[in-house]
Structure 1
């Protein structure tokens, strides 16, 4: 089953990072392609006002990270929140990472705000709180590269907590078969995280920065999280196909009964 995923790219690389690293949308494409070739992408940079055309449909819509605040009044952020709220009401499958995780929570009735815990950077470990069918039974925890000081402090009412940590209480959540979000960055590489941390070093507490630098010696589970995301989207697509087939079969049966 081939999947078609729309990537809503919510940031551009800092100019000093551009010569060495690919864009955020390309990071996700490369991450997912390492898991399967049965997936196609289209990237829209929402900061520049790019969105899918009316009537264009994808199996899932993924919102990337961003240096912007999800609760910002910037015009492009307000438009994105409205777009995601409408997408959810239309029944679209939505994925969010970091900023995407936060703005989806906001759009769907939760709360995201500046955390009093300060910056989280480096490799961070999370504990799994809930295991949907697409999550392997043996997974009790996972690690991801992170870079954030905003957090989801209140989940949307119909959301279920998927993973947490002492630093980030709402680190991942799901809403039925329609929404899956992670605070951490499965798409980041250690080299990119190191470059981003060096760029922002002046805003970090020195002890936090040193601990984060040491944490980069640890592996992270970005590939696993990518597989979970793909499994989530595939399961949602299969479920919708079954419902559609059932409705079509029922309609044909009714038509046959009327003409008998």
Structure 2
């Protein structure tokens, strides 16, 4: 399967030597589950957008330090491309910013959460079950780093997992769109370094709690299996 990665940010220069950039994170994790996957990257943050929704088999959108409501031209153009994917029933999975972008592009609402920053490990209850959730489990625990959240899902959305902190954590929209607020591609070491780098924004107390939460098990490979199952079912 050929996956098109819609890159919406770069790892901070201070962290890139140790952790690599986002495309490498995604490729490393996803190919550890399925070595036959191939990736093609479009740097959407630089205005590089695909011309053809059928250029690859399925699409994946990265997270970003930017917000979907920032009004940047490349974000508006990416929303337009997401609507083209929707119109052509092309498989798309949005991660964090990408999850929020799906909601915004298709008529939902994204807001800056009154609950503040979500960092470290997030623990979520799976409240809906779909055939691509194999192997099944009733919890989904992933690393997060976000201020914005989906407040209102778009039409045709089914919320599948959430928590008190982030009720709309995992959603399927129609048959071929899937969004998750968590970051399966973030290693715990990267999450820890990112929290320390952003301590001035996030706040020392929340960073301390986030760092402590990283002792919990993470469902990164499970989420990748679910994503690949979802993509293949769409295809």
- Shorter-chain TM-score bucket reads over 0.9
1:61 corresponds to which of 59, 62, 83: 59
Give structure 1 stretches of 5+ with no counterpart: 238-260
| 1:172 counterpart (160, 170, 173) | 170
Task: Return the offset for 1:137.
Answer: 6.7
Q: Any idea what the Cα deviations from partners look like across 1:43-76, whole Å, max 9, x if unmatched?
A: 1110112223447522211110000001121111
C-alpha distance in structure 2 between counterparts of 1:137 and 1:233, whole Å = 15
Q: How many residues align?
A: 235
Which is greater in Rg? Answer: 1
Question: Which runs of no fewer than 5 residues in structure 2 stay unpaired?
Answer: none
Contact 1:71–1:103 (Cα < 8 Å) also in 2:
no
Give RMSD over aligned pairs.
Answer: 1.3
Supply the distance in 2 between the matched residues of 1:150 and 1:138 (Cα, whole angstroms).
Answer: 28
Partner residue, 1:122: 120
Runs of 4+ in 1 over 3 A off after TM superposition: 53-56
Distance 1:199 1:130, change over 3 A: same
TM-score by length of 1: 0.87
Find 2:191's aligned residue among 190, 193, 200.
Answer: 193
In the alignment, what sits opposite 2:81?
A: 83
- Superposed, 1:30-69 pairs within 5 Å as 30-54=28-52, 56-69=54-67
Equivalent residue number for residue 104 of structure 1: 102
Match of 1:213 in 2: 211
Q: What is the TM-score when the length of structure 2 is the normalising length?
A: 0.96
**Residue 120 to residue 55, structure 1, CA distance change in 2 (3 Å):** closer
Query: CA separation of 1:91/1:221 partners in 2, compared to 1, >3 Å: closer, same or farther?
Result: same
